[in-house]
Amino acid sequence: MRIIFSFILTLVSTIGYTQCLKGITTNPSAPLNLEKPSKANTFFDWRELIYDINSQYILAPQIDAPFNQTDNSLVNHFLDNQDRFPEDGWELIKYDMGYTEAGVPKTTPVGFIYVILYNKYTGILRTFFAGDRPEAFNGAQIQINFNDGTQSSALSNASKRFALDHFEQDPKITVVSQYNNNNGKWFYADFNISYDPCTCFYESKMLVSVYLINSSVITLSGSLTGNITNISNGSGTVSENSFSFDPKNLLAAGKKAKKSYKDIGKFKTDQEKALGIANKTDAQLQPAELAKRQDLNMFQEALKSSSFLKTGLKAAPYIGAAITLVDYFVAGGKKSSSPQEVKISPMAINANVTLSGTLQANYLYGDVTFYTPGSLNAQNKNAADYAYYNEVLGVFNLLRTPKMHFTGQSSWNTQGTPGQENYRYESYERFKFQMPEFIDGRKNFQYVLNPASNLNAESIEIFGKLIFSNSAGNGDTTYRYVISETDFLPIGALSNFSNEFGSHYVADYYGTSYEMFGCSDQIPSIAELKLMVNLRRNDADANTQNVLFVLTYPIEFVHNPTFTFGPEYCSFEKDIVLQNTTVTQSMAAWNTITLGPNVTFSPGITLKAGNGLKVLPNVTIPPNVVLKTGYPVAGISNPSATSLADIQVFCGGNLYSSSTRSFRTKSDEVVESEPAAETSALNAFPNPTTGFVTFQYYMSQSGNVRIDLMDIIGQPVGIVMDTFSEVGMHEVSYDANHLKPGVYFYTLETEISREVKRLVIIR
């Protein structure tokens, strides 16, 4: 029996960013939309198993819903996992069945039909498409990106999941699916959406594009968790581990791809392949390999248990081992009248594969556009592109990129003559890396939780794992190999400790000697923080599953040669087994210390284990041995909960890099390519402000000018000025002390132009 004494750190509550919350639900049984009552979902019940269709390509007037097509292998895994109900978090984003919202057939039937759903507990956007084309296609490439306005971090999972202060322009998430061109058969794609609380400050629009693939050969190469991967003509292998997969399981093509699993059994099988323990009996495995298999077995059995995800991260030891190769995972959130097994959504587990190559997808099947849910002024725009569930999407994110200090030194010295007795060559490399609690006076770890997710901020638990790696090249292929990694620990335990890397090499007349410091003699160039986040629904009862996320974030290295480093991770062992030995000094382990027979202890010995102590039967512990549980680091503390004021300042400031990444549509580019008279340059300072603010503007020609203040929903709150101005730079002061803290917009309007910028007021 395994005895575990766990230390679980429950985090302080996050103040939900309620300023953007609207209280919308599209539940067909009780729809509610006070923001835009005409778009409350009284039109379409996606829960039905038969849909009425008006399409020129789908001949039948009715087809089975994607959850009910028994003869469609692409969706028939939904038959025993009816993951579609509002009580499990599903909401409606947009749909088209060839009928108006009044139920009247459209005069021009649609070319293809679609249903786009979103799960507020898991952050998954699920897109279903069906139709029929006479051409022979064998695949579909489904892509989501921003179509207009200001890009947000909602699609940060297009590459790596980035914190809100880091942004890659023009993010696109691409999913490759099989395509069934039989009449009315569904195919689909899932997209993992990141939470961006700044979404409601800016206008933006999303585009989902579907391209049909008419190439029977997909040739891609890249890396899967450090191993060379080749995929060609429908099958593939990994050079080291024989990790095989099929194109229908690829979630992306081109430069980014992922693999998903429709059930936990397939996930376990591939994990065993990647770990090199597949097709072996337990007797053929080394102890460490057998332990990994047992962890995978525990994980699989835990998912079948009704208590899984209700025990919180006390399950961290075996969950952490089971998801070694996974960059993203989400499960849970369902509610029922009785205990239930956790069913894995198709895109809920995936392993990262960075690929290069070409995938033919040159036939545009169709586009779907909608205003980014929760974005500014969406309710005032074209009603046809209004998302029925107009709440900010996503569940969890980090406010700032985690940072890690490093310092190091390299030196070498040569004496004497090679081959002579006086010869000596010595080289020395030593580097230390530390994730401190504070960077520049701010908490290094700040998270945001979407209040629209209906998940309880008070009960959140977060574990973290640090991964150090390097990159290597092989022709055009670049892959990573892991140098060192910690175990999953309460996130506060990762602060104020350091990892040490380096080596000491000596060559002289008598030979050579080599000493390795810390975890490795390789100096890492890449660091990542992998998080396990466990959340409980606000309406949870005894049969409600918690929600478990696994998210991976890059870490930024910050050089600081004067930083004082804390306890070193590499000075602690991961697991310690004591039997048939004499212990002469105190020991500490991140995981478990096992006490077996025939062990003697010197006086004053302390044994400390992070995850627990295991005492074998018939073993007696001397009274002079001190046993402790907990994590062998100093200064365990909670991560910082992000307040409403912090988010407001962040979204209105320069740290929110997405705010500077707005881009134009093609029609805008045509207009701006023509000569135009630049009328003004508009700024406000200080911004953020606590009260008084100065507006500065430049006039390239004389004329009437007006500056107005508006609140977050576009309602006027004040007139700064309304007068005639000459050519040149001007300033005007304004007392904003009467306004509540928050984000506002100030507009400068002249006779020929209008300019809008944001102003943040804090107290």
**pLDDT tens track for 92-132:** 999 999 999 999 999 888 888 999 999 999 999 999 999 77
454 domain residue, yes or no: no
Pick 319 or 159 by higher pLDDT: 319
Q: Pairing mode, if any, of strands 599-601 and 581-583?
A: parallel
Identity of the highest mean pLDDT range in 392-401, 544-553, 626-635, 691-700? 392-401
- 468/482 Cα distance (integer angstroms): 6
One domain, residues 197 and 83: yes
**Angle value at C-alpha 719, between 716 and 725, nearest 5 degrees:** 135
Pick 263 or 395 by higher pLDDT: 395
How is residue 314 annotated by DSSP? G
Single-letter amino acid, residue 140:
A
One domain, residues 30 and 176: yes
**pLDDT tens track for 457-510:** 888 888 888 889 887 655 444 556 778 888 777 787 787 778 888 888 999 888
How is residue 156 annotated by DSSP? G
Q: Which residues contact 484 (CB under 8 A, 6 or more apart)?
A: 467, 468, 499, 501, 518, 519, 520, 524, 570
Single-letter amino acid, residue 211:
Y
161 within 8 A of 194, measured Cβ to Cβ: yes
Count of positions (residues) in the chain: 763
- pLDDT band for position 181 (50/70/90)? confident
- 26/41 Cα distance (integer angstroms): 5
DSSP string for residues in 326-378 = -SEEEEE----SS--PPPPPTTSEEEEEEEEEE----EEEEEEEEEPTT-TTG
One domain, residues 430 and 497: yes
CB-based burial of residue 187 (10 Å sphere; 0-12 exposed, 13-18 middle, 19+ buried)?
Answer: buried
- 30/42 Cα distance (integer angstroms): 9
660 domain residue, yes or no: no
Q: In Å, how far are 136, 227, 248, 252, 739 from 215, measured between CA atoms?
A: 10, 27, 14, 16, 60
**pLDDT tens track for 363-405:** 788 899 999 999 999 999 999 999 999 999 999 999 889 999 9
545 domain residue, yes or no: no
- pLDDT band for position 285 (50/70/90)? confident
One domain, residues 444 and 379: no
CB-based burial of residue 225 (10 Å sphere; 0-12 exposed, 13-18 middle, 19+ buried)?
Answer: buried
- 140/175 Cα distance (integer angstroms): 8
- 73/731 Cα distance (integer angstroms): 66
Which tokens is 743 given? Answer: 């984000």
Identify which of 321, 201, 349 has the alpha carbon closest to the alpha carbon of residue 658. 201
One domain, residues 98 and 174: yes
Number of domains in the chain: 5
Q: Give the domain CATH number at 204.
A: 2.60.40.10
One domain, residues 100 and 47: yes
Q: Pairing mode, if any, of strands 424-434 and 403-415?
A: antiparallel
- 173/208 Cα distance (integer angstroms): 10
- 7/27 Cα distance (integer angstroms): 40
- 325/277 Cα distance (integer angstroms): 14
- 539/657 Cα distance (integer angstroms): 35
**pLDDT tens track for 187-234:** 888 888 999 998 988 899 999 998 887 654 444 333 333 333 333 433
Judge whether residue 691 has pLDDT over 90: no
One domain, residues 581 and 510: no
702 domain residue, yes or no: yes
Give the domain range for residue 492. 398-448+461-534
Q: Is the backbone peptide bond immediately before 686 cis, with ω within 30 degrees of 0?
A: yes
Single-letter amino acid, residue 106:
K
579 domain residue, yes or no: yes
- 498/433 Cα distance (integer angstroms): 5
* 447 three-class SS: strand
231 domain residue, yes or no: no
One domain, residues 84 and 155: yes
One domain, residues 292 and 211: no
DSSP string for residues in 24-57 = -B--TTS-B-SS-GGGSS-S--TT-SEEE--BSS
Global confidence as pTM: 0.75
Which pLDDT score, from 0 to 100, does residue 86 have?
96
- 711/718 Cα distance (integer angstroms): 9
Identify which of 142, 86, 146, 145 has the alpha carbon closest to the alpha carbon of residue 117. 86
Judge whether residue 235 has pLDDT over 60: no
- 141/254 Cα distance (integer angstroms): 11
One domain, residues 204 and 95: yes
Q: Which of 478, 508, 534 is the last residue of a domain?
A: 534
How is residue 194 annotated by DSSP? P
Identify which of 755, 532, 762 has the alpha carbon closest to the alpha carbon of residue 647. 762
172 domain residue, yes or no: yes
The distance between the two most distant Cα atoms of the chain, rounded to a whole number of Å, is 98
Over range 34-47, report the average pLDDT.
Answer: 95
Beta-bridge partners for 431:
408, 501
Q: In Å, how far are 147, 277, 326 from 268, measured between CA atoms?
A: 38, 11, 12
One domain, residues 368 and 341: no
Candidate from 62-71, 254-263, 363-372, 701-710 with smallest mean pLDDT: 254-263
Which pLDDT score, from 0 to 100, does residue 537 have?
92
Judge whether residue 657 has pLDDT over 80: no
- 23/389 Cα distance (integer angstroms): 10
142 within 8 A of 209, measured Cβ to Cβ: yes
Judge whether residue 725 has pLDDT over 60: yes
Which pLDDT score, from 0 to 100, does residue 354 have?
40
- 396/645 Cα distance (integer angstroms): 18
- 204/196 Cα distance (integer angstroms): 13
Which tokens is 22 given? Answer: 């609207």
225 domain residue, yes or no: no
One domain, residues 115 and 173: yes
